[in-house]
């Protein structure tokens, strides 16, 4: 199950990042924490997937990054902001995701599979 979740997350990472940046500019760590917060810790991005995705989004012009100095004792950090093209891309991805999820639900919703194995059917005595 963990591998399945990881694969689903990998394909959704750019969309999740764009959605978080649509609300406000953030540095990488804050993006990851906000995704965790919004999903009640169900989804977690590590540095190995977060920063390559941010770089790809930046290179494709969907986000911009600017170095910000925090304070005299803190290191500089890169803050990412969604671009106009990024906002349009997020809207497209959101439409595509909703259509995809509805299609999957139409198939899964017709299965009539009990929530868990071993669940007893709701049979009334004759």
Stretch 46-53: mean pLDDT:
91
The secondary element (H helix, E strand) that includes residue 63 is strand 63-68
Identify the bridge partners of residue 80 per DSSP, sorted by sequence position.
26, 65
Give the residue with greater pLDDT, 58 vs 75: 58
106, pLDDT greater than 60: yes
Identify the bridge partners of residue 81 per DSSP, sorted by sequence position.
64
The confidence score (pLDDT) of residue 59 equals: 97
Q: What is the pTM of this model?
A: 0.78
Q: How far apart are CA 50 and CA 55, in angstroms?
A: 9
Stretch 11-20: mean pLDDT:
93
Q: Does domain 2-95 have CATH number 1.10.10.10?
A: yes
Spans of all domains in the chain: 2-95
Dihedral sign (CA 47, 94, 24, 56): positive
């Amino acid at each position: 199950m963990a591998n399945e979740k990881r694969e689903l997350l990998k394909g959704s990472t750019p969309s999740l990042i764009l959605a978080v940046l649509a609300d406000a500019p953030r540095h990488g760590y804050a993006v990851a924490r906000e995704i965790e917060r919004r999903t009640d810790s169900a989804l977690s991005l590590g540095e190995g997937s977060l920063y390559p995705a941010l770089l790809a989004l930046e290179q494709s012009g969907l986000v911009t990054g600017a170095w910000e100095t925090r304070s005299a004792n803190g290191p500089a950090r890169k803050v990412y902001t969604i671009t106009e093209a990024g906002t349009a891309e997020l809207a497209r991805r959101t439409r595509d995701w909703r259509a995809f999820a509805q299609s999957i639900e139409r198939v899964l919703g017709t299965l009539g599979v009990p929530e868990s194995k071993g669940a007893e059917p709701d049979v009334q005595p004759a």
